[in-house]
Amino acid sequence: MARRSRIKTLKIDGRDVGAHEDQTILQLARENNITIPTLCHIEGLSVPGACRLCLVEVKGWRKLVPACATYADEGMEVFTDSERLRSYRRMILELLFSEGNHVCAVCVSNGHCELQSLAQHLGMDHVRYPNLQPVRLVDMTHSRFTLDRNRCILCLRCVRVCDEIEGAHTWDVKGRGVDARVISDLDTPWGESPTCTTCGKCVNVCPVGALVEKGRAVGEMVKRQEFLPYLSSMREVKR
């Protein structure tokens, strides 16, 4: 597809880069092999800007901005890595870990988990906040999949992929704050869902061990996300 947009020139981490005007800072950074951590973002789905891990500094701007939801602009000077950003990112991870049950050692996604590898990558070795340990039910009513809300970080990838790609919109969110949780349909057990097509897309985009295939033992759940860019580009072509 030929783009007919204008080119913007800006700096990321001191490097001169050129961007299309519909490109976000995150896309541009990745194009230039600059790593910005993300959790809720996944290529091919809409951008909620929810997890705040991709916050970056822009020279002259007082606020930090999410790289996934901020467009590159002429003359910008972006910084993706600083002690301040690293400490905020670690703090975000610690807050995620302190809520729910994220005991990697006994998780089916151990070794294949985006939250776990980010914690390793960002050097999160302790959690300074007390664990809230909310009581959250595991839903094992589905014949093929399990939803473990204790492992859920509310990135909402499942909600988006089900709505935007599969078109079923089985998933949604109920409640606020620590009570917020992913529900299927009108909070009915997943196994009784009249809308779920059992396609498994939600399971494969889930970055953690919250949505998993049944019968997988600890460390055996490997997510396959290769399908997503293909499916979403097919949709773009149709449009």
Partner 1 sequence: MTKQIVIDPITRIEGHSKITIQLDDNGRVEDARFHVTQYRGFERFCEGRPFYEMPSLMGRICGICTISHELASAKACDEIMAVQIPETADMLRRIVNLASVIQSHALSFFYLSSPDFLLGLESDPATRNIFGLAQKHPEIARDGVRLRRFGQEIIEWMAGKRVHPNWIVPGGVGSPLEPEVRDRILETIPEAYAIVQHSLDWFKRSLENYADEIRTFGNFPTLFMGLVSPTGGLELYDGSVRVVDERGSMLVPGFAPDSYQEYIGEAVEPWTFMKFPYYKPVGYPDGIYRVGPLARLNIIDACGTPQADQEWAEFRQLDRGMNFSSFYFHYARLIECLFAIERLEQHLNDPRILDKRVRAYAGPNSGEGIGITEAPRGTLIHHYRADSQGRITWSNLVVATTHNNLAMNRGVKQVAHRYVEGDRLTEGMLNRVEAVIRTFDPCLSCSTHAQDRLALHVELVSPDGEMLDQIWRD
User: Are 20 and 71 spatial neighbours (Cβ–Cβ below 8 Å)?
Assistant: no
Q: Which amino acid is at 118?
A: L
DSSP H or E segment with residue 209: none
- Taking contact as CB under 8 A, which single stretch among the options 36-44, 174-182, 195-203, 212-220 is the one that binds partner 1? 212-220
Question: Which residue of 83, 217, 236, 239 would you call a contact of partner 1, by CB under 8 A?
Answer: 217
Could you tell me whether strands 211-213 and 181-184 are parallel, antiparallel, or unpaired per DSSP bridges?
Answer: unpaired
Give the integer Cα–Cα distance in Å for 114 and 210.
Answer: 12
Site pattern 79..118 for partner 1 (x: CB under 8 A): --------------------------xxxx-x--------
Question: Which residue of 38, 146, 170, 204 would you call a contact of partner 1, by CB under 8 A?
Answer: 146
**Smallest separation, CB 107 to partner 1 (Å):** 8
Nearer to partner 1, 24 or 101 (CB): 101
Query: For the chain, how big is the Rg over CA atoms in Å?
Result: 19
Closest alpha carbon to 107 in 227, 190, 192, 223: 223
Could you say whether residue 181 binds partner 1 (CB under 8 A)? no
The binding site for partner 1 (CB under 8 A) comprises 105-108, 110, 137-141, 143, 146, 148, 214-220
